[in-house]
Amino acid sequence: MARSSSGQVFKSGEGQVFKPGEECPISGVYRVVHDPAHTKEHEVTCVYGEKFPPCNNCGDHVRFVLERGAHHVDVDDNFKM
């Protein structure tokens, strides 16, 4: 278990699903699920507090699935200045 930059406890690979316009609750790697006619699934990094974007082709039909939560380096005490 780990904590998000907001202090939330999470497990890697929870599989939470998010839509464009929603706020990213946990920095980490997300699987992106597009309209299958457009492109295959792939992974992206999303950052806590930023909004999930629409796809240039699928628009608001794209979904983001949390694969692995991770702390952003900016909130890691080992790297604060």
| Model confidence pLDDT, tens digit, residues 24-79 | 999 999 999 999 899 999 999 999 999 999 999 999 999 999 999 988 888 888 98
* Number of domains making up the chain: 1
Question: Is residue 63 included in any domain, yes or no?
Answer: yes
CA distances 32 to 23, 70, 75, Å, are 15, 17, 25
What is the domain extent for residue 44? 2-76
Question: Is residue 81 included in any domain, yes or no?
Answer: no
Question: Is residue 59 included in any domain, yes or no?
Answer: yes
pTM assigned to the model: 0.77
Question: Is residue 47 included in any domain, yes or no?
Answer: yes
Residue 11: pLDDT band by 50, 70, 90 thresholds? low
Rounded distance between C-alpha atoms, residue 55 and residue 32, angstroms: 10
Rounded distance between C-alpha atoms, residue 62 and residue 9, angstroms: 26
Residue pair 43/29 in contact (Cβ under 8 Å)? The answer is yes
Residue 1: is its pLDDT beyond 50? Answer: no
